[in-house]
Homo-oligomer: A and B are copies of this chain.
Amino acid sequence: MSGCVIRSIDAIDARFELPAGAGSDAVHTNPVYAMALTHLATDSETTGVGLALTLGSGNALVCEAIRMLAQPLAGKPIDEIMAQFGSVARGMANDPALRWLGPHKGVVHLALASITNACWDLWAKSRGVPLWKLLLDLDPEALVAALDLSYLEDVLTPAEAVAMLRNESATRAERETILRTGYPGYDTSVGWMAYDEAKVRALTLQAMDRGFKAFKLKVGSDKEERDLRRAAMLRELTGDAGILMFDANQRWNAPDAMRMCRALAAFRPLWIEEPTHPDDIHAHVELARAIAPVRIAAGEHVPNRVVFKNFLLYGGVHYVQADCTRLAGVSEFLAVSLLARKLGLPVVPHVGDMGQIHQHLVLFNHIALRHEAVFLEHIPHLRKHFVHPAEVSEGVYRTPQQPGASCDMRET
């Protein structure tokens, strides 16, 4: 067991240049992708690695917060930490000196995401299994003990969470076929904001050739007609069979969002994503009513399970884009997944991790929680930097087999 004791914690500020225009959207015009990495060193060669995505200089703040927050983990066996990780995470989230900076949002919460993901990675590696298998092998009580469900009690108690997991276990076997078949990806990289129309066209055709059937387009241009023209082109290219999603990255105020969402609905997207400020539940509810049957997707900037609970109770979101690198890691992602299951909404993660961790979580959600594996965002930007990059072939995410949460990165 000595190899599973955390000996020291380090935070690494890793930054990555992107090709021109890649990653650009309506509010992040020239992003530098950055990972705030948590490294949990042990007595053995095994290192737990966790990550959170940021977009540049602020990454240093998250790394510093990781160093402040993670110290209580040093000297403890990972099994002991994870046996009651709900309490451990709650203790870190409520650190009396740091809680004031949120609570449960912003820099400190991103740090908790990275730390939490490193703990899950180390736990899975210490057992020699991929994260999805670790999660599936835990009994319901053990899984729920690893989650902080505080402030959800009016909708979901720990006992209910255990009961939900137990109820679904009878029919697990029929859903385990997904481990062999994989599940679809959707391609976000065809439609970055800075790409001109010729490039969007060429990339979409390539993606269709490679087996993708669903595509995301960035909207929220300075000139509205540009959004409409690009949307029309994409619909024409993919035909009626193409599944389109439009992503405004919070650009519009509420009245502009109403006007633009109505105009874009003509191109029959599955969803419009982040149409306005991510804190504006009321505006999302109004939009959701106005543009049906087009749906609202949001979550990449919904900071925690409590805000998700509010979005769900008020009806401000249909596709729950939880992200374990924005929420407090794998644990809060699972808390939100339980909540969404209880309230009958699908979880389609946003991939701040480029899909590395979420490829595991979609499998767990599908098999253990009967969340349909609709599809998972695919962004291969940082592929070459991962030791075990997510494998997407013929438009399908393939089941990862290496131990851990697929967060190991090459030296950069």
Contacts and interface: CB of A to CB of B under 8 A. Distances in A.
Nearest to A53: B100
B27 A96 contact: yes
Interface stretch (A122-130, A218-226, A272-280): A272-280
Given A101-B58, A102-B106, A253 B309 contact: no
A60 interface: yes
A60 B64 contact: yes
A149 to B, nearest CB: 10
A318 interface: no
B153 A96 contact: no
Interface in A286-316: 286, 301, 303-304, 306-307, 309-310, 313-314
Interface stretch (A29-37, A81-89, A135-143): A29-37
Most B CB atoms within 10 A — which of A53, A100, A310?
A100
A175 to B, nearest CB: 32
Contacts of A28: 96, 99-100
Interface stretch (A107-115, A162-170, A176-184): A107-115
A105 B154 contact: no
Interface in A72-90: none
A61 B281 contact: no
Task: Count this chain's copies in the assembly.
Answer: 2
B281 A27 contact: no
A297 B252 CA distance: 30
Given A151-B253, A277-B306, A58 B106 contact: no
A117 B87 CA distance: 38
A211 B81 CA distance: 53
Nearest to A100: B55
Interface string A32-64: 100000000000000000000111111011101
A313 B98 CA distance: 30
A154 B301 contact: no
A135 B350 CA distance: 44
A62 B302 CA distance: 22
Given A279-B307, A306-B277, A306-B279, A99 B27 contact: yes
A96 B56 contact: yes
A109 B283 CA distance: 22
A310 B101 contact: no
A94 B154 CA distance: 35
Contacts of A237: none
A102 to B, nearest CB: 6
Contacts of A313: 282
B106 A314 contact: no
A238 interface: no
Contacts of A189: none
Contact of A282 (B55, B62, B279, B309): B309
A102 B28 CA distance: 13
Interface of A: 27-32, 53-58, 60-62, 64-65, 68, 94, 96-110, 150-154, 250, 253-256, 276-283, 286, 301, 303-304, 306-307, 309-310, 313-314
7 contacts: A27-B94, A57-B68, A107-B108, A151-B253, A153-B253, A153-B254, A280-B309
